[in-house]
């Protein structure tokens, strides 16, 4: 069963005028090292495949998605996303489990620092240890254990806010999503909408599945 996830809605609820936003997301599944493929690169995504060895190594286990900077966004003004919007998980078979973390960020320094942000994240010693743990269990045959993936995702989502703060970017909203094949990854062939919001931001993702 293949799954595809994208963000189709994003808007500010409470903010000053003329803000700059971007989205960064990490997705993983039970494919292990066979999960290696290009980063999500839809119409509103930057591709980080040409960046540092740390990012390339992480891409063996995670889909890394980072949107363009959306400029001049005002309160209650939806970000203009056409088609499938921001691709978070390109079409693939998650092999039983899909885990996704999404952060909506207000940019202070601009797009030039997004690559540096990811490089710093995947150089963090705790994140490196989590990736090593995945590498050990994927060296043998069979699918990667669920607990190893969720542990690694937990480390990344714990370290990311600290790096965003150091980068002088404001993390406005975090969203975690997970699904199993027995529940069809909480998706449908037509696309299943999952909305999330807080006092500052409202957004929604669509989850598509096909047999």
How far apart are alpha carbons 206 and 150 in whole angstroms?
21
Tens-digit pLDDT profile for residues 74-120: 888 899 998 899 999 988 888 898 999 999 988 875 544 666 777 78
Q: What is the pTM of this model?
A: 0.81
Q: What is the pLDDT of residue 191?
A: 97
- 49 — phi, psi (to 5°)? -60, -25
Residue numbers of the chain with a pLDDT score lower than 70: 15-16, 32-60, 109-115, 137-144
Q: What is the pLDDT of residue 92?
A: 87
Q: What is the pLDDT of residue 153?
A: 83
Give the Å distances, CA to CA, from 145 to 34, 83, 199: 14, 34, 36
Q: What is the pLDDT of residue 54?
A: 62
3-state secondary structure of 14: coil
**Domain count across the chain:** 1
Residue 159: CB atoms within 10 A of its CB come to 18
- The secondary structure of 37-85 as a DSSP string is -PPP--TTEE--TTS-HHHHHHTTT-EEEEEPPEEEE-BT------TT-
List the domain range (segments joined by +) for residue 65.
2-210
């Amino acid at each position: 069963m293949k799954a595809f996830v994208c963000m189709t809605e994003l808007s500010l609820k409470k903010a000053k005028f003329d803000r700059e936003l971007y989205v960064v997301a990490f997705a993983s599944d039970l494919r292990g090292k066979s999960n290696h493929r290009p980063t999500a690169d839809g119409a509103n995504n930057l591709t980080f495949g040409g960046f540092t060895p740390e990012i390339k190594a992480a891409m063996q286990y995670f889909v890394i998605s980072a949107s363009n900077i959306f400029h001049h966004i005002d309160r209650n003004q939806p970000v203009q996303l056409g088609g499938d919007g921001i691709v978070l998980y390109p079409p693939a078979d998650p092999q039983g489990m899909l885990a996704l973390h999404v952060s909506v960020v207000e940019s202070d320094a601009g797009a030039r620092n997004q690559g540096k942000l990811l490089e710093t994240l995947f150089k963090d010693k705790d994140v490196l240890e989590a990736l090593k743990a995945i590498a050990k269990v994927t060296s043998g045959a069979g699918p990667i254990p669920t607990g190893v993936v969720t542990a690694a995702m937990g480390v990344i989502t714990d370290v990311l806010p600290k790096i965003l703060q150091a980068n002088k970017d404001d993390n406005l909203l975090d969203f975690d999503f997970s699904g199993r094949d027995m529940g069809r990854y909480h998706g449908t062939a037509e696309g299943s909408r999952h909305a999330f919001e807080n006092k500052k931001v409202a957004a929604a993702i669509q989850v598509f599945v096909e047999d």
